[in-house]
Amino acid sequence: MSIIGKQGLRFAVAASVAITSFGLSGEAAFADATIRWLHVENVPGTVEIWSKLAAEFEASHPGVKVDLQFLDNQAFKAKLPTLLQSKDAPSFFYTWGGGVLKAQSETGMLRPVDKALDADNGAWRNSLSASAVHGMSFDGKVWAAPSKVGLVSFFYNKELFKKAGVDASAIKTWDDFLAAVKALKQADITPIAGGGGDKWPIHFYWGYLAMREAGQDGFKKAKAGEGDGFASEAFIKAGQHLADLGKLKPFQNGYQGATWNDALATFGDGRAAMLLGFENTSDSAKNASTSRKGLADDNLGRFPFPVIKGAPGLVTDNLGGLNGWAVTKNAPPETEAFLKFLSSEKNQKLLAEKTRIIPVAKGALDGVQNPILKDSAIALSKETWHQNFLDQDLGPNVGGVVNDVSMEIVSGAMTPKDGAEQIQDAYSLEAH
89: domain CATH number is: 3.40.190.10
How much is the pLDDT for 391? 87
How much is the pLDDT for 11? 35
Q: What CA–CA distance (Å, rounded) separates 37 from 332?
A: 12
Among 17, 32, 75, 104, residue whose Cα is nearest residue 337: 17
The C-alpha angle 218, 221, 224, rounded to 5 degrees, equals: 155
Residues of the chain with pLDDT under 70: 1-31, 431-432
User: Is 260 among the domain residues?
Assistant: yes
312 & 326 share domain: no
The domain containing residue 239 runs over which residues? 153-319+388-431
178 & 272 share domain: yes
How much is the pLDDT for 10? 34
How much is the pLDDT for 153? 98
User: Is 18 among the domain residues?
Assistant: no
The number of CA neighbours under 13 Å toward the Cβ of 182 is 10
The helix (H) or strand (E) run that includes residue 77 is helix 73-84
57 & 194 share domain: no
User: Is 333 among the domain residues?
Assistant: yes
How much is the pLDDT for 432? 55
What sections of 225-329 are H helices per DSSP? 233-247, 260-268, 281-288
Q: Which of helix, strand or coil describes residue 375?
A: helix
203 & 111 share domain: no
Other Cβ atoms closer than 10 A to 139: 9
pTM: 0.82
How much is the pLDDT for 208? 98
Cβ atoms of 96 and 389 within 8 Å: the answer is yes
Q: What is the pLDDT of residues 30-60, one digit of tens each?
A: 458 899 999 998 778 899 999 999 888 777 7
227 & 205 share domain: yes
CA 132 → CA 139, 149, 171, 322, 388, distances in Å?
Answer: 16, 7, 30, 7, 11
200 & 301 share domain: yes
243 & 358 share domain: no
How much is the pLDDT for 23? 38
The number of CA neighbours under 13 Å toward the Cβ of 396 is 12
Pairing of strands 137-138, 274-277: unpaired
How much is the pLDDT for 321? 92
User: Is 28 among the domain residues?
Assistant: no
How much is the pLDDT for 124? 98
User: Is 8 among the domain residues?
Assistant: no
How much is the pLDDT for 392? 86
The count of structural domains within the chain is: 2
At which of 381, 399, 419 does a domain end?
381
User: Is 355 among the domain residues?
Assistant: yes
The C-alpha angle 177, 178, 181, rounded to 5 degrees, equals: 90
How much is the pLDDT for 137? 94
